[in-house]
Amino acid sequence: MTTERATIASVFNHLVDLFKSLPNVAAPNLNWIKVDDNFSLTQSHVDHLTFLYQNRWAFNEFDIEIDYAAVCDWSVGANCTKINLTLKSDDSGNRMCFVQSEQELISKFSVQLARGAALPTLFYVINSEHQSNVDETTLLLSKLEMIQEWLSLFRNVADIVNVSNKGESQYFILKTDEDKFVKPFEFSVAITEELLSLDISPIGDFKALINSEGRQDLNIEEKRNFFKLAFVELLKKLTIETPQREYVLLVFENIERLKTSYDEHYEVFIHNFALSEFHDKVEEKYFEYAEKIQAVLGDIQTKIYAIPAVLIGMGMLAKVNTFEAYVFVVGGIFFTSLFTHWMLCDQIARLSQITDSMEFVFKKLSSKGAERLKYEEVVQDISTMKRKLEKSIEKRKHRLLWYIFYSWFPLVITVVLVLIKYSDKLLKLSLDFLL
């Protein structure tokens, strides 16, 4: 005979087997089993009673009578006149319990269930012979589990949760688009037969919102906020549509509306997020091209100073007394103007390349904005940015053309001065060349 303490599950298994084998057995409440009629003990009875007596730590009362006398040693064929077993319970509820039906089980624990507590892990349903630690979960208990998952989500997004006589009251403090002021919405939670009779939609992906600790999803809080907003909006609509019914029933009858409302809010968030990202990309391209356009003149700014420098240098012509020296000066100014001209033409070509690149990139961005985001304002913004860049390019092209004109201005002045000073000599040279 073993004296080792058995697990509570083993004790429960023996207790259920004993219960099934006893004649006219009754379970007046959750933790009380009794038999008042006389019957003869079988070997099975003796084995179960012996095991349970060895583990009577699981009982508050363990009273067995043989021929109306309390004994703790039983034999096959003995006349059992009384069995009275009271199961122990702890702070979380009955560790082992016996009920007539699942409805009774849920009813007995309805207040705790509404507050988020679980059913006892070890229970036996007499009518259906369902044993919790052996048999698969029934349809009703699965429905209860789904209800509790939804209630847990509501509880997690609520701002205030208070206990009530029937379960708990959840308060949501939120200002919707239609409200002028922030006000609390009360949602009273209770587990009732009417609630259990509804078709309950599974929580699905929303389960991830119940406990976000340790999750890497950066948008989890945004999702919870959108769910809270959708829930409050649904509550507000239901108070107007059906003011007399309990909100907990109305909410579970309209779970699909809640899901749809959440999806709409989240889609708007995703759209706005994508829109913001797209705007950032467009603005990045805009400033990138703006810098390139600005650099077109910035890169040659110091080189363009050669034009006024040449004009200043032309003052040396006053000191030149020979025609040959004039020829060298004119040649130097010519090459300066020519190289400046080529440099400015390169910058105009560079602006044309920037224009072609900008046309391609912004056309691609416009197509993406129209197809993926389906938002006309995005395309309008792109068009506005493009026009600004095009105007900037045209201004710089116009300025570069003037620079080209002025790059030849020193040479023209130099040639005019040479013609004035050496007109006779040039005329003579021309005639000698022609004749």
Domain edge (last residue) among 135, 155, 186? 135
pLDDT tops 90 at residue 207:
no
pLDDT tops 80 at residue 213:
no
pLDDT tops 50 at residue 223:
yes
Lowest mean pLDDT among 257-266, 310-319, 402-411: 310-319
Mean pLDDT of 121-130: 93
Lowest mean pLDDT among 93-102, 175-184, 389-398: 175-184
pLDDT tops 70 at residue 132:
yes
Same domain, 178 and 206: yes
Mean pLDDT of 246-271: 86
Most confident of 229-238, 305-314, 425-434: 229-238
On whether residue 210 sits in a domain, the answer given is yes
pLDDT tops 70 at residue 4:
no
Confidence category of residue 367, pLDDT binned at 50, 70, 90: confident
Same domain, 198 and 338: no
Average pLDDT, the chain: 81
Q: Are 336 and 410 in contact (CB under 8 A)?
A: yes
Q: How far apart are CA 217 and CA 249, in angstroms?
A: 32
Same domain, 285 and 429: yes
The per-residue pLDDT for 289 is 74
Mean pLDDT of 60-67: 90
The per-residue pLDDT for 1 is 44
Range of the domain at 187: 141-253
The pLDDT tens digits of the residues spanning 170-179 come to: 998 877 666 6
Same domain, 325 and 427: yes
On whether residue 368 sits in a domain, the answer given is yes
Q: How many domains does the chain have?
A: 3
Q: How far apart are CA 9 and CA 45, in angstroms?
A: 19
C-alpha distances (whole Å) from 239 to each of 202, 233, 245, 336, 345 are 24, 10, 9, 85, 74
Same domain, 126 and 156: no
Lateral strand order in the sheet of 183-189: 160-163, 168-174, 183-189
On whether residue 317 sits in a domain, the answer given is yes
pLDDT tops 60 at residue 2:
no
